[in-house]
């Protein structure tokens, strides 16, 4: 099953997914209140040190296709400082 299909299933109805789909032995469970993108303290993983982050004239953007879909088709981040936001799709530069 593709990551997009899994993310869509999770977004529509919280459920337990087999761990094998994520490389683990146990189940992968997200609670209903899980948010795929959140504000974070400076100094750790963030959009500022993610390979998908990009500075544009109108503010920071994320070029990850899953983030863009989750964010309603908009690549623009909801913060001005990309070092204060991170998503489930963070990936090291």
Question: Does residue 64 share a domain with residue 45?
Answer: yes
Structurally, the chain folds into a number of domains equal to 2
Check whether residue 41 and residue 77 sit in a common domain.
yes
Domain containing 43: what range?
35-93
pLDDT in tens, 33-61: 989 999 999 999 999 999 999 999 999 99
**C-beta separation of 29 from 9 below 8 A:** no
Check whether 14 has a pLDDT greater than 80. Answer: no
How sure is the predictor about 27, in pLDDT bands with cuts at 50, 70 and 90?
A: confident
Residues 6 and 47 in one domain: no
Structure tokens at 93: 């530069």
Shared domain for 15 and 42, answered yes or no, is: no
Question: For residues 41 and 27, what is the distance between their CA atoms, to the nearest angstrom?
Answer: 29
39 and 67 belong to one structural domain: yes
10: nearest Cα among 46, 34, 41, 26 = 34
- Alpha carbon 58 to its chain centroid, in Å, reads 21
Give the pTM.
0.70
């Amino acid at each position: 099953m593709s990551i997009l299909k899994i993310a869509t299933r999770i977004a529509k109805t919280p459920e337990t997914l087999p761990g094998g789909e994520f490389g683990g032995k146990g189940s992968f469970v997200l609670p209903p209140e899980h948010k795929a993108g959140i504000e974070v303290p400076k100094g750790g993983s963030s959009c500022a040190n993610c390979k998908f982050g990009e500075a544009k004239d109108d503010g920071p953007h994320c070029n990850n296709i899953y983030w863009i879909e989750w964010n309603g088709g908009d690549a623009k981040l909801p913060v001005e400082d990309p070092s204060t936001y991170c998503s489930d799709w963070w990936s090291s530069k």
